[in-house]
Chain A
């Protein structure tokens, strides 16, 4: 029996059971089996809050699996989750709905010439569901003796003289007005020797930690929003599409030359097996159209003749939305003095640190690698945990992560600075241009209107139902509008309340002439609202554990 143990104390606490956090946990446990390694995750199950395209490079995931689970290649999960490799890689430029140019050959030439653009080649990558991948990694972690506890929301980090002592969990059992119900559970404190922040994009604790511990970003973090659906199509359509096919596209409906909208982003279609095709759009949150809903862009893309041939009459079986950190190398949070990606015994890994290579628009491989490097640094320095952040940072800066991020360091910023139309050609030589400084996404909002309006409003209710999102209804809203007066006095006249339009879950509504997060229980945890409100007037806090979407195959 384990009666006398202090169950509120662990050696390492990892916030977030995504690929980065689990890679960290597995690496530590393999090297130091006696340590209590614990991963906490706010989703009801591991993988529920993970969403990506996703094309996954093989090198890093193989390294991780080789170290964690001998013989993994023969497991049922490997045969299911890693079943598809891209063998038909296509990149298109859509000039108009019906006019497109295949630019794959140019990219292949760029790759041969060693140009940055060549990184857009995806052939040979796995096509994966990151929800399934995370769930699998969690089960491997558990088999290795790691405690992966799901359904617990972390509210804050406990810092003592800059050093982390542990984390606070979110209190549970408040009613809508903040009163304690009979089942109220006070916030729990978890003490840990080491804290790993692996929350994913725009991490709540990460951002608090950056502020409290005095970390900074050289340049603002930039975000984009990804909207994704999985569509079940007919046998013929799937066969015509091809089981190893990936499509990436630029242009319409995100950008069309001179006449149309000018935003950063693109669309994708991936074969997912079982007659399912993943389709999505990614739109930079520096868009300037106050009436733009990224979901409309997805509808327009799905309505192009090219997409229709594969998707028409298909059934949407799952849907979701998530942000991507796009600021790149200069948006990695580092200690003001030491440059550490973390501090003392706290490290930041994966999307929380922003390890996304914008030339590839991929970060999954870097997330896994950063986790393995963090795990290595932690296992090595448990006797002197103050050295962990420095050691981890040394490893990252000497790794492929840094090399990749360096080569893409000015790519996204060039679009911000020169706009989508001029940014596109110049982005190819972005590293020869001055390193731009980008304004924050929300500052880009204008009263301009998006050119391609849909025939009817996007059905957000069905979208959230397909994301299977739910929260306990009787808790206080986890979304707050800081100053409601701004919405009425300033935003309504100037931008007509864009949050109501861009929130993919339809959380915001006008109730009695006031903008309110009226449906917080529909929230998909994408956090676009707190990054795109043109007056920086919205804050996303963490709801009770188990709340949020329940992605299974995203």
Chain B
């Protein structure tokens, strides 16, 4: 019989953001002004654990909820108890606060050990079930790091579970498809990506939950090895609001122009990558003029250093180590108190450092599914090339698998200098444990200064395991990577990792600390692939690995790369609303437009629908876009016969370009889109298809 430990987290409710939640000065979202709720995927994890208990027919199994957070996080434990949990443990202590994912996973793993020992009497047959990621941090790193700390199997991105002949079989999402797996052994950690049947509270359990005593542990109870700010391996440099997009609301009367705008929007670069292009390329301090510190992490620091540099030049000072106190007083007065004595000391010390803080190459983890390389790998190589050039070092790419040498030329052509290759029959398919072992082995041997993974289902489980194993910090799902200095902290040429947080409502720039290598995963589709250069030369270094059958943690029962499910993360989404009138219309009009766009734009095009269209039975709910459906952020969103109710528009807010066609000239969507036509969809779409096909 198995027991279950469910990891739950209290998060700010980013679905209900009020006006006063933003700092009026900086425009940044203030977390403490949001209501707190249980992380939605953790609700699903609870239901998933309960489902496992039900289908295995084991009524004796215990479900224990565990959370780490401030005392008010007890609320999510009461939530768990009012549904299916038998007991609940609250890990709370000031010393645990301010932790990054490393310093979160570590104490949680130690708490799990204590739960097994003290509550489950040492029974090692257990599953840890958690949501894949939390809505506030959105990193998906903690479960993988816990798996590494406890050295157990990990099934990530689970969507369903079956029980057959005493074994659980999990349905899971993999990069570009789905897979059925069964862990080779317990304990195992299961992370839930989607399970649609969250449990309801019962009256009796809710009353009990309100009266039961929670088990409360502090830092001293668990003896964890890395906690709080001190145990963290990343640091937040700055938090800032994301760039607001304002919709153009441009009316178009000619279908030809409408088609042209669609092509234009498809060719336009995504904003995130456009942003990255604008930045000035980093130059190492040794190559700059004296006292040039243009590349600080924040604009204010760059300005302060510029001011100080100018004053030093004006005073004719060349050696900053020999400045007298008298001179320092003059500098401070000249700077008109822009900085104080302590800051001046830090900055002068900063001027004395010009050696980069990290040594080594810039590496990329290659991802492939056997025959084909994942496109995100080439995007990463483009970025790695740029970073390595600024740092004057080489680009390495790590590739692990069975018979993968044939990828080498493509990787080198895309920007790699060295291909680090491990080949072994055991590594034929991705298994977190065997791949972690192989990859960590190579990194440990050569120690690059930067290692980049793509934030795909594979990358998001491999990266946390490798980084945790190697005691390195890791930043998830970055949208921008830059080399910068943090001279006041005497750090030169470090990787500034920028990523969205709190459901995309704030941006955070993060740097790595106390690590030998700076690691990050980046969002696929944001970075830019370089044009292939088949004439590039590169070397291949083969890295043998000592690996065997018992390094595999999962039995892979079935792999399906077709990916039959609805892909609302497609680059282009065409949605129909109630204005489509009937199911036949919806099918016919959308079908025609979608195939034309797919052919002509050369990208993935998926169908979406408004809630009204789903209600009327035009298409099934999996396609529903909006507040109660799926929130999407494609490059192009085409809304056909959709009025633009606020509930729908919230769900498409992250779209780059919104097109709308509606017969009602007063439709609210026209005030919230980029290009629109006030016309009947039945008339316009066939013309639009014709125009697209002509091009």
A binding-site residues for B, Cβ under 8 Å: 1-2, 5, 7-8, 38, 40, 147, 149, 151-152, 169, 172-173, 181-183, 185, 188, 190, 456, 459, 461-462, 465, 468, 470, 473-474, 511, 518-519, 521, 544-545
A465-B645, A473-B628, A521-B628 known; A151+B212 contact, CB < 8 A: no
Q: Does B269 contact A (CB under 8 A)?
A: no
The residue on B at minimum CB distance from A474 is B621
A461-B643, A465-B646, A511-B616 known; A2+B200 contact, CB < 8 A: no
The residue on A at minimum CB distance from B206 is A149
In the complex, the answer to whether A461 meets B646 with C-beta atoms within 8 Å is yes
In the complex, the answer to whether B204 meets A183 with C-beta atoms within 8 Å is no
In the complex, the answer to whether B205 meets A7 with C-beta atoms within 8 Å is yes
A183-B47, A465-B645, A518-B615 known; A173+B203 contact, CB < 8 A: no
Residues of B within 8 A of A147 (CB): 207, 210
Q: Does B198 contact A (CB under 8 A)?
A: yes
> Which residues of chain B in 77-123 are interfacial with respect to chain A, using CB atoms and an 8 Å cutoff?
none
The residue on B at minimum CB distance from A9 is B204
In the complex, the answer to whether B628 meets A8 with C-beta atoms within 8 Å is no
Q: CA of A456 to CA of B202 in the docked complex: distance in angstroms?
A: 45
Q: CA of A38 to CA of B208 in the docked complex: distance in angstroms?
A: 13
Q: CA of A183 to CA of B43 in the docked complex: distance in angstroms?
A: 12
Q: CA of A40 to CA of B201 in the docked complex: distance in angstroms?
A: 13
**8 Å CB contact of A1 from B197, B212, B611, B615:** B212
In the complex, the answer to whether B203 meets A7 with C-beta atoms within 8 Å is yes
Residues of A within 8 A of B198 (CB): 183
In the complex, the answer to whether A173 meets B666 with C-beta atoms within 8 Å is no
Could you write out 21 A-B pairs with CB less than 8 Å apart?
A5-B211, A7-B204, A8-B203, A8-B204, A149-B206, A152-B206, A173-B197, A173-B200, A182-B197, A183-B197, A188-B202, A190-B203, A461-B643, A465-B646, A468-B16, A473-B621, A473-B628, A518-B612, A519-B611, A519-B612, A545-B201
In the complex, the answer to whether B616 meets A470 with C-beta atoms within 8 Å is no
Residues of A within 8 A of B645 (CB): 461-462, 465
Which 9 residue pairs across A and B have the least CB separation, nearest first?
A7-B204, A183-B197, A461-B645, A2-B211, A172-B200, A465-B646, A185-B200, A7-B207, A182-B197
The residue on B at minimum CB distance from A10 is B207
Q: Does B51 contact A (CB under 8 A)?
A: yes
Q: Does B283 contact A (CB under 8 A)?
A: no
Q: Does B213 contact A (CB under 8 A)?
A: yes
Tell me how far the C-beta of A179 lies from the nearest C-beta in chain B, rounded to whole angstroms: 12
The residue on B at minimum CB distance from A36 is B207
Most buried by A among B201, B203, B646, B647: B203
In the complex, the answer to whether A185 meets B202 with C-beta atoms within 8 Å is yes
Residues of A within 8 A of B611 (CB): 473, 519
The residue on B at minimum CB distance from A461 is B645
Most buried by A among B208, B628, B645: B645
Residues of B within 8 A of A7 (CB): 203-205, 207-208
Q: CA of A152 to CA of B202 in the docked complex: distance in angstroms?
A: 8
Q: CA of A352 to CA of B44 in the docked complex: distance in angstroms?
A: 37
Q: Does B356 contact A (CB under 8 A)?
A: no
Tell me how far the C-beta of B18 lies from the nearest C-beta in chain A, rounded to whole angstroms: 9
Q: CA of A459 to CA of B199 in the docked complex: distance in angstroms?
A: 35
Residues of B within 8 A of A149 (CB): 203, 206-207
Tell me how far the C-beta of B204 lies from the nearest C-beta in chain A, rounded to whole angstroms: 4
Q: CA of A7 to CA of B201 in the docked complex: distance in angstroms?
A: 13
Residues of A within 8 A of B16 (CB): 468
Prevailing SS type, chain B contact patch: helix
Q: CA of A357 to CA of B24 in the docked complex: distance in angstroms?
A: 46
The residue on A at minimum CB distance from B35 is A45
In the complex, the answer to whether B615 meets A462 with C-beta atoms within 8 Å is no
Tell me how far the C-beta of B599 lies from the nearest C-beta in chain A, rounded to whole angstroms: 34
Residues of A within 8 A of B204 (CB): 7-8, 188
Residues of B within 8 A of A462 (CB): 645-646, 668
> Which residues of chain B in 467-495 are interfacial with respect to chain A, using CB atoms and an 8 Å cutoff?
none
In the complex, the answer to whether B202 meets A519 with C-beta atoms within 8 Å is no
Tell me how far the C-beta of A134 lies from the nearest C-beta in chain B, rounded to whole angstroms: 18
Q: CA of A474 to CA of B646 in the docked complex: distance in angstroms?
A: 21
The residue on B at minimum CB distance from A457 is B666
The residue on B at minimum CB distance from A520 is B615
In the complex, the answer to whether B207 meets A151 with C-beta atoms within 8 Å is no
Tell me how far the C-beta of A177 lies from the nearest C-beta in chain B, rounded to whole angstroms: 12
Q: CA of A172 to CA of B612 in the docked complex: distance in angstroms?
A: 24
Q: CA of A484 to CA of B207 in the docked complex: distance in angstroms?
A: 42
> Which residues of chain B in 182-239 are interfacial with respect to chain A, using CB atoms and an 8 Å cutoff?
197-208, 210-213
In the complex, the answer to whether B197 meets A181 with C-beta atoms within 8 Å is yes
A1-B212, A183-B198 known; A465+B203 contact, CB < 8 A: no
Residues of B within 8 A of A172 (CB): 200
Residues of A within 8 A of B197 (CB): 173, 181-183
**8 Å CB contact of A183 from B199, B207, B210, B668:** B199
Residues of A within 8 A of B208 (CB): 2, 5, 7
Q: CA of A8 to CA of B206 in the docked complex: distance in angstroms?
A: 10
In the complex, the answer to whether A459 meets B668 with C-beta atoms within 8 Å is yes
Tell me how far the C-beta of B444 lies from the nearest C-beta in chain A, rounded to whole angstroms: 44
In the complex, the answer to whether A461 meets B210 with C-beta atoms within 8 Å is no
Residues of B within 8 A of A181 (CB): 197
Residues of B within 8 A of A521 (CB): 628
Residues of A within 8 A of B666 (CB): 456
Beyond the given A7-B204, A149-B207, A474-B621, please list 6 additional residue pairs across the A-B interface where CB-CB is below 8 A.
A2-B211, A40-B203, A152-B203, A152-B206, A182-B197, A470-B628
Residues of A within 8 A of B201 (CB): 151-152, 545
Residues of B within 8 A of A459 (CB): 668
Q: CA of A333 to CA of B288 in the docked complex: distance in angstroms?
A: 89
Residues of A within 8 A of B621 (CB): 473-474
Residues of A within 8 A of B211 (CB): 2, 5
> Which residues of chain B in 650-695 are interfacial with respect to chain A, using CB atoms and an 8 Å cutoff?
666, 668
The residue on A at minimum CB distance from B47 is A183
Per-residue CB contact flags for chain B residues 597-615 toward chain A (1 = under 8 Å, else 0) read: 0000000000000011001
Residues of B within 8 A of A185 (CB): 199-200, 202
Residues of B within 8 A of A173 (CB): 197, 200
The residue on A at minimum CB distance from B50 is A183
Residues of A within 8 A of B612 (CB): 518-519
The residue on A at minimum CB distance from B643 is A461
Q: CA of A7 to CA of B206 in the docked complex: distance in angstroms?
A: 9
Residues of B within 8 A of A38 (CB): 207
In the complex, the answer to whether A465 meets B47 with C-beta atoms within 8 Å is no
Q: CA of A453 to CA of B261 in the docked complex: distance in angstroms?
A: 40
Q: CA of A459 to CA of B646 in the docked complex: distance in angstroms?
A: 11
Residues of B within 8 A of A5 (CB): 208, 211
Residues of B within 8 A of A40 (CB): 203
The residue on A at minimum CB distance from B19 is A317
Q: CA of A185 to CA of B203 in the docked complex: distance in angstroms?
A: 11
Q: CA of A545 to CA of B206 in the docked complex: distance in angstroms?
A: 13
Q: CA of A546 to CA of B386 in the docked complex: distance in angstroms?
A: 52
Q: CA of A518 to CA of B205 in the docked complex: distance in angstroms?
A: 34
Q: CA of A438 to CA of B666 in the docked complex: distance in angstroms?
A: 43
Q: CA of A19 to CA of B197 in the docked complex: distance in angstroms?
A: 34
Residues of A within 8 A of B202 (CB): 185, 188
Q: CA of A487 to CA of B606 in the docked complex: distance in angstroms?
A: 38
Most buried by B among A7, A181, A519, A521: A7
Q: CA of A511 to CA of B578 in the docked complex: distance in angstroms?
A: 10
Tell me how far the C-beta of A478 lies from the nearest C-beta in chain B, rounded to whole angstroms: 15
Tell me how far the C-beta of A178 lies from the nearest C-beta in chain B, rounded to whole angstroms: 16
Tell me how far the C-beta of B310 lies from the nearest C-beta in chain A, rounded to whole angstroms: 45
Residues of B within 8 A of A188 (CB): 202-204
Q: CA of A185 to CA of B208 in the docked complex: distance in angstroms?
A: 17
Residues of B within 8 A of A545 (CB): 200-201
Q: CA of A206 to CA of B199 in the docked complex: distance in angstroms?
A: 29
The residue on A at minimum CB distance from B617 is A511
Per-residue CB contact flags for chain B residues 422-447 toward chain A (1 = under 8 Å, else 0) read: 00000000000000000000000000
Q: CA of A470 to CA of B627 in the docked complex: distance in angstroms?
A: 10
Tell me how far the C-beta of B544 lies from the nearest C-beta in chain A, rounded to whole angstroms: 48
Q: CA of A521 to CA of B614 in the docked complex: distance in angstroms?
A: 13
Residues of B within 8 A of A511 (CB): 616
